[in-house]
């Protein structure tokens, strides 16, 4: 009977997904027809590029639909008792990202600024209305953005960059799943999208120091700006939280790895859902990479390299799985191999030919397997494999620009181009971004943990006594570093759910 219900549930999910795909394709078709009619009737006035704007809206819609893919992927990889919590996090994160990016992030990342390090500091972004004399109005302070995307609607650019910012926050969700407090994740997502992500994004895409001579750092669609930033924030969060109870023998009560390793109980509960999520993400990636160019002639090439890299990543995961992991081929490895190939090609999809895209994707698929083994060795718990996919493959994809990018691509025009030098600058740029995001992520996670701890538990006598005991213990064991370790310990307790809640999981009425 249970098996019958499970199959029925999967059938319903499949029907819903088919309806969503049909609706999305119908929307794209209607938009293309309307755009074609607009051009034929001569309704394109001034500097407004209707087709270019239309493609940005379509691409942004595809990337927005990736939220469904991330939700299905994470839910499928986690345990059934935490499905509601996972879905709630994936749903609310885009709501929070929208508010944060509107309030601070977009202006901070793309506004004109005299500084090469910090973007324009402002509050609340207003979207001007089109008029008969100006179909494409831009707010004050966005001259550089207007020049880079000539003729494109400002609102469409905001939508497109918003879904990118939301992706960076969603990446974090998977790595901290099943043990993060709901409000801790919400607060971190707000800070990440509102301040951390735009800061380093400005360096690369907003005219900051990395984009200028001599560095000329290139990241076409976000292997560093989006995926590595989300990946390192996820790594810091997973490291601070430590593993789920019994994973690698971890006991959160004693904060030790002295228990029995019971990793078998953390197997994915629904790989059908995870597979559907992978396919949705693969579809959305065509908009992710394809929408990042203002030259529409390059869109077919970008989609082709994206497709081929993903295919090579999944194939490499099959070929190397038994060698690297010493086990039979697993569906989860294939899924993450495909996603690794997508992340790896994101930085260079407009700069490389299809053969090089295949090489980039294949190495990405291999790196995912190596990364999973590395996390296991370090006892870092990543339920969905977000860290190998987004951080490690993001690093490789960034380096691959310097190694494989072709000067024949009009999207890749550099002054005094030398392959070795550019590879070094790619490494330098990635390292700079990761260093800053790491520091800011640690500060943010710990600050949120301390805030939540003292708000929720600070008034409880038992909590005070427990913290005093922890402080004495660490001060005795670690001497002058005891206070620092104590801060990390208290911060961890502030962002991590209780042992009881972790064991119980979430249901329709409980969101820890």
DSSP state of 193: I
> Are residues 218 and 405 in contact, defined by beta-carbon separation less than 8 angstroms?
yes
> Is there a domain that residue 100 lies in?
yes
Reported confidence tier of residue 398, pLDDT bands at 50, 70, 90:
very high
pLDDT, the chain, mean: 86
| Position 6 in a domain | no
Residue 464 pLDDT grade (very low, low, confident, very high; cuts 50, 70, 90): very low
CA distance 303 to 27: 19
Expressed as residue numbers, the domain containing 161 is 44-449
* For residues 357-371, average pLDDT: 98
Report yes or no: 441 and 433 within 8 Å, Cβ to Cβ.
no
In a domain, 445, yes or no: yes
Q: Model confidence at 6, in pLDDT bands (50, 70, 90)?
A: very low
φ, ψ for residue 373, nearest 5 deg: -65, -40
Answer yes or no: is 67 within a domain: yes
- Nearest to 167, CA basis, from 197, 205, 187, 134: 197
The total domain count for the chain is: 1
Residue at 496 is within a domain: no
Residues 179, 497: contact at Cβ < 8 Å?
yes
Query: pLDDT tens, 127-176?
Result: 888 887 788 889 888 999 999 998 999 999 999 999 999 999 999 999 99
DSSP 497: P
Contact 295, 410 (CB under 8 A): yes
Domain membership of residue 477 (yes or no) is: no
The CATH number of residue 165's host domain is: 1.10.3430.10
- Read off the pLDDT of residues 89-111 as tens digits, 9 standing for 90 and up: 999 999 999 999 999 999 999 99
Q: Which residues, at least 6 apart from 333, have a Cβ–Cβ distance to it below 8 Å?
A: 317, 318, 321, 325, 368, 369, 372
Q: How far apart are CA 337 and CA 368, in angstroms?
A: 6
In 405-481, alpha helices (H) = 419-456, 461-478
DSSP code string of 219-241: -SS-IIIIIIHHHHHHHHHHHHH
Closest residue by Cα to residue 59 from 295, 293, 286: 286
Contacts of 482 (CB under 8 A, 6+ apart): 471, 474, 475, 476
> What's the confidence (pLDDT) of residue 465?
42
Asked if residue 492 is part of any domain, the answer here is: no
Predicted local confidence at residue 170, as pLDDT: 97
Checking if the pLDDT of 208 tops 90, the result is yes
Position with higher pLDDT, 91 vs 413:
91
Residue written as token pair 């600050």: 447
pLDDT above 90 for 366: yes
Closest CA to 356 of 305, 411, 295: 305
| DSSP conformation class of 461 | H
Lowest mean pLDDT among 59-63, 179-183, 300-304, 504-508: 504-508
Residue 503 predicted with pLDDT over 90: no
3-state secondary structure of 36: helix
pLDDT value of position 463: 47
pLDDT band at 40 (very low <50, low <70, confident <90, very high): very low
pLDDT band at 74 (very low <50, low <70, confident <90, very high): very high
CB count, 10 Å around CB of 26?
Answer: 10
Going by C-alpha positions, the residue among 72, 80, 251 that lies closest to residue 178 is: 80
Q: How far apart are CA 337 and CA 310, in angstroms?
A: 8
- Whether 15 maps to a domain, the answer reads no
Average pLDDT over residues 273-300: 97
Predicted TM-score of the model (pTM): 0.88
């Amino acid at each position: 009977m249970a098996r019958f219900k499970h199959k029925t549930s999967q059938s319903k999910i499949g029907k819903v997904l088919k309806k969503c795909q049909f609706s999305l394709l119908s929307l794209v078709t209607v938009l293309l027809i309307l755009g074609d009619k607009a051009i034929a009737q001569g309704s394109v006035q001034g500097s407004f590029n209707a087709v270019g704007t239309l493609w940005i809206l379509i691409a942004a819609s595809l990337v927005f639909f990736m939220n469904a893919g991330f939700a299905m992927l994470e839910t499928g990889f986690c345990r059934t008792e935490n499905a509601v919590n996972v879905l709630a996090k994936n749903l609310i994160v885009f709501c929070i990202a929208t508010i944060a990016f509107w309030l601070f992030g977009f202006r901070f990342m793309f506004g004109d600024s005299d500084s090469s390090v910090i973007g324009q500091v402002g509050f609340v972004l207003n979207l001007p209305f089109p008029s008969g004399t100006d179909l494409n109005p831009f707010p004050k302070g966005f001259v550089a953005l207007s020049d880079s995307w000539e003729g494109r609607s400002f609102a469409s650019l905001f939508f497109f960059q918003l879904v990118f910012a939301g992706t960076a926050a969603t990446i974090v969700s998977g790595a901290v799943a099943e043990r993060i407090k709901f409000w801790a994740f919400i607060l971190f997502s707000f800070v990440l999208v509102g301040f951390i992500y735009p800061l380093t994004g400005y360096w690369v895409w907003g005219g900051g120091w990395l984009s200028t001579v001599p560095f000329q750092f290139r990241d076409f669609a976000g292997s560093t700006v989006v995926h590595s930033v989300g990946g390192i924030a996820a790594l810091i969060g997973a490291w601070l939280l430590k593993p789920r109870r019994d994973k690698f023998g971890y006991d959160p009560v004693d904060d030790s790895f002295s228990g029995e390793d019971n990793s078998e109980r953390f197997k994915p509960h629904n790989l059908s859902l995870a597979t559907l999520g992978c396919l949705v993400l693969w579809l959305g990636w065509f908009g992710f990479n394809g929408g990042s160019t203002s030259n529409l002639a390059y869109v077919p090439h970008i989609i082709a390299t994206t497709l081929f890299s993903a295919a090579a990543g999944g194939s490499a995961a099959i070929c190397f799985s038994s060698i690297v992991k010493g086990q039979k081929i697993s569906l989860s490895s294939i899924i993450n191999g495909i996603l690794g190939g997508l992340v790896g090609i994101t930085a260079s999809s407009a700069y490389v030919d299809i053969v090089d895209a295949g090489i980039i994707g294949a190495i990405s698929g291999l790196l995912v397997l190596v990364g999973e083994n590395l996390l296991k060795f370090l006892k870092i718990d990543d339920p969905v494999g977000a860290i190998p996919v987004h951080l490690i493959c993001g690093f490789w994809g960034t380096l691959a620009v310097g190694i494989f990018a072709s000067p024949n691509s009009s999207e890749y025009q550099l002054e005094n181009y030398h392959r070795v030098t550019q590879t070094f600058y790619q490494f330098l740029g990635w390292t700079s971004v990761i260093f800053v995001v790491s520091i800011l992520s640690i500060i943010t996670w710990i600050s949120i943990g301390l805030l939540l701890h003292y708000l929720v538990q600070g008034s409880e006598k038992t909590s005070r006594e427990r913290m005093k005991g922890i402080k004495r213990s660490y001060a005795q064991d670690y001497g002058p570093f005891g206070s620092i370790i104590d801060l990390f310990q208290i911060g961890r307790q502030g962002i991590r759910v209780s042992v009881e809640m972790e064991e119980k999981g979430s249901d329709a009425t409980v969101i820890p």
